Structure 1
Amino acid sequence: MSQANEPEPPATAKPKAPRCRKRRQRRKRQIAYLAICSLSVAVFGLALATLIRPAAAADADAELDADASNERTEKKGDDNNPQVEWRAGYAGHGTTHEQMGELHWAPVDYTPYKPTVNYTRPPTAPTTAMNPIFNFTHKLYDSIISDEPALPPGYIVMQGDSLALGPKFHNADFRDLIARYWLVLLFILFLCVIIVVMPFVAVCYCCLCCCRRCRQGCPPCTSKQDAQRRLWCGVCLLILIVGLIFGIVIAFVTNRLLDRGFDQATVTMKRGSDDICLFLKDVADHVHHLMVYNYEEMQTHISDELSSAHKHIFLDLADTSESTSLGELERILHNMPEARQLMEQVAKMETDLRFYGAQLRDGLRGMKRDINFAVANLCTTQECQTFLSSSSIELIDTSKCLHFDTIPNATLYLEGLNIVVKENYIKIPTDGLTRMENVSLKVKEQLNSVTPSMIRDLNGGRDTFRSHARRIRNQVDAVLSQIHLKTSRSSRSFDDVYDKFGNNRSVISVIVCLLMIMILGILIVSLLCGCFGRRKTGYRDDCCSKATAANCLFLAILLIFCMISFITLMGLVYFMIGLVTYQGACAPLRDVDKNGLFRQLDSMVDLNRYLPRADDAEPLKAAPPLRMSNALKMCEANQSVFDMLRANRLYDINELKRIKVMSSEEDSDSTKIFDEDMSKTELLTKEEFGKLEAMRQGGAANYHSELFKDLCSEFTPVNLNALGEKMYALSNSLESPTFGWARVSFWNEGLNAKSYYQNFIPKLTTIVEKMKSNMKRIDELILYENRDFNNSIRLLLKAVRESQNFIQTKGTRYINELGKNLTSTISNMIDEYISMVIDESNENVGRCEPLAYIYHQGVDLVCRSMVDPINGYWVGVLLCALLFLPILYVSHRLMCLYKKVYPYMASVASHVDVVYEGGCPVCTGLPYVQQTCAGGQQAYCACPGKEQGRPSGGAGPADEDPVFDGQVSLLEMNKHKQD
């Protein structure tokens, strides 16, 4: 029953086992076959490498011979092609510094000129307020004086180098001048009429009683009209007073400016003299700095380059030919003793590393065995099983840092380095460098035959530029000194004006100003009294009434009549002096091209006569005369002194380009600096090459620190200290009676873990770090481009062979190319120096701004300090003189208005009213009837009581009659006021 219920196995289950067995056997045979094939290939490769290595040196020699033949072929091609690629992939001469953008020869670093000149500054001009007046006089003279020449002969003459008033001016002979200009004639005639006629008008005004004859009219009837007349006349007088104030201010200020101009002329010219001296010194220092000091800097720089040229050429040759590889080889072999010492330390540390590592590894394996036994037999709890699976005890001895099978044996490298040091291979590259140094000595010997001539040419150029600097300084000194001399003398023009008038001029001018101020004060007082004082009543008039105003106006009229001719005469005199001196001092300096008088005077001054002639200077052909006008015009544009000298054909700074400093420039292309035969020059002999080839294949051939890359300090996958603490905790967690042996075992293994950590881990870590540090230092000492020792020496030997081949085939030509580059560089330095001197001279040397300042403060001083104040003075004086004419009329009219008496103002105290029948007898011409009161009393007497006044000659009521003061009769008051 039970057998029937059991399931039957599938039909395919029986033949499955034989097929799987056969498949496994077939796979095993395939694996064995592949292993045998791999082993055969490895053995064959090892044998082939052993056979190829001895032939490597022969192949290198064959490669060198092939390279030499190729170089010879290139040399033949180089002779036909001037564009030679000295070094593959490098432009120019194939040097490294050229690829970095640097030049073969350093440029000259010139010291810039720093001026230390502090020019004096003039005080602030106080004539700003008077400039409109001065400009008015300039425009006036320019508009009325238009002929050429502006002044007839005899009015302005030359005395030495300055202008002076001529004999016609001293003799007051202005006929020629007046005859030429009708407007001037009319103006002078008008002033003369005023001067002559006004005294007669004054006599008539005073003698014929015009001054006291004023129409009185009827003040009570014309009071309104009189008030309007007083208003308009007062306004007119106020306007005239304002104009009079303006004229007096102009006259007073210009008179002070004229006095100050004479006083400051000497100070201004002394300041100009100091500035011109500073300017000349600055120009001389700047020229000396450019042509002497900067040239000496260039000469010193070129001399230094020539003295070290052989070193420079040698270094460039070594760089381009890659002879520096010989130096690298010498460095490596020189460092061999130090590298050997470091390798000895590495070998000893390697032995210690392997010894201590084996002890630690064995200890860890024993600890792992004991822990596994304790977990399997002494502690069967889940806690122990979990500890075993989670603490990585099974992998504790499998760290790659604890297995040193892949680390090479440093003793082999030490033996190789010992052989290098023992055989004294350092002598080979040292001898090669000595042979290379012989090339430098040959270059130096060849350059010593060329350098003296270059130094001699540079010394001759220094003398040439020094002579040019001296010549330029003398010419500039002469030109500017004469310009300043002419300017200072011209600034003393018209000194005879001051000598002629002297102190009397100033006294008279001040008197005129004081007289005008006195008249002005009287007019102002009269106007104030007339505006704010009471009207004249004829009874108890105040001191500031209109009567006082009338008296002040009368006094002003008398003073004007007395002084107008004298004031006008002073203005006329100043007008004539200003006219003549303006045309002689101001106009020529403002318009030198169009002014005929200045052209006439300028033609008398040729500064070429004062210039020194150098002995070696070429004679100037058809040199135009150097006029002051040209010099001043150039300085006005703030050009350079050299522009002025070139424009006047005195000296052209651009001629420096024709100077040839180096006499050997013409045949520099055909001259060879180096002509030694270097085809037999050897850096290393064949025997030395063979020794070095054998050295690189010695015991240290494969050395590189990368071979020790498996050196590490992570010796266990877990921290042994932490593992010991875990085992302590596990031991303490187990029950004492049941798992007593397990507790003891785990506690002991925790002690072992901590002991292994304290005794082995720090020591092994220190050994590993020290080995890494030593091998890194060994790499720096004996490796090249971070290659192993074998490849480093191989590349350096290849570079030495190529360098030797370059020197033998192209060395002579390359040195000559560098020599030509040296001569061309020196020529370019000299050309750049000359261009720098020319540009600096044309742009920055001797800017004429100080000369323009001296011109404005010197020559223009005459116009600003004397002529302009003279013209301003006559403008102010004649303005006042012309304003006196309307002031006379307005003052007379206003005086008459102020003299009118208004008698009805006196009847205020009487309280009596009187009315005339038929109107005012003064206005209508009716007969006057004296009115009386009732009882026979006068009308102007107060009647007692309230009696009705009885008119004796009129019919009007008494209360409408005008009331008068009883003390003054109306007829008596008006008897002198009738027309």
Structure 2
Amino acid sequence: LISIDAGNNINIVENPDFTAITKYYASLVAIVVFLLLCVVLFPLCGLCFCCCRCCGNCGAKALPSDKRRDTSKKVIQAILLIMCTTGLLFCIVCAFASNQQLEDGVQEFPTNLNYSVRDTETFMDTTNAHLRHLLTNNYQEFSTALNNVLQNGTEIAMNQLFEFAGAANLTKLFDFSENLGNVNNTLYELKSDTNRLRVYASQLNDALRKVKRDLTKTLNDCSYLPECSDFKKKIDLLQTNIDFSQVPDVSSTIASLGSLNIANIQNDVDAGQKSLNNIRVSLSDALNKGLNEAKTQLANGQTIITENLDSVTGSVNDVKKQIDSSASNAIKSSQQFIDNNGKYRFYFGVTISCALLSIVVFIFFGLICGVCGKRPDGYSDNCCNKGTGSNFLCW
């Protein structure tokens, strides 16, 4: 009744192959046919048996007396028949209930099918939304996080690499070489200052001696005064010799620095610094190139995922549209068929259930008359005797 082609398109077969359908459901059809035959043949067989009994055949002759143990057999058979009747009554109740449930199910079939179609469409829409969230939003978040990790990792890797290679020491050496020229100039200035200091110290020493000599001469002229005599003694105790021998001589240091060839050292350090900068630039370019390639691949992956996702969602939407259109036609046709022919199925089920109920009613009256009625005789006969009960059972 429903077919699916290579493109996963659902189609309703307009002219189905009933032979193939019958073969597929052969066992179920056989069981249903057997039950229908039982329903039809059991009443016919009962009717034939009743007619046979009415004609005096099939054991319809009256027995003059009961055989031995007939009473026990009758009691046991009556109990068994009561049990069977109870079971049949339960089955009839189930038949009426099943028929009503089947009717409710048939009447609700278009509505339930519509709900199922809506649920299927909701499931497909939810699937599309989840796919887009997982493959688009989550991938974008992953790409952003990965780019940040790669960027930070590049900087950390370069810093650790230069730290391991001793780039900081090379930078300190470069600073030291830059300061070597300043140190040499400073030492020359220090040498000039110390030489001037010695000259000034010699001049100061001469001046102090002259002052001491003049002051001593003046005090000798007034030596008769006690104050002058005391002051002269103090002046004699003064030392005018200034010793500048402790002033360092930086000539040897300047000579040592001059032998170092500071210009060559600075050139070598500058070359090392330039090489280090070139290595830094090369590593940065290589890492940035790899990072850009990774970003490009991530962007290409995003594009491919988006294209495939659009293809998948488009296929899902096409299937949803086909299901909607096919299901709408099926729902309309099934609703029309149920409205036109559903009542006949219900009446047929009620008829079968009523026929089974009539059989149980006959069995019930047969049991009542057989258990409670008297044996018929030629003098005192009534309508509710055991013979009437047997007739009910035969019917």
Report the TM-score, using the length of structure 2 for normalisation. Answer: 0.49
Higher helix share: 2
Which is bigger in relative contact order (C-alpha 8 A, separation at least 6)? 2
The normalised TM-score by structure 1 is 0.23
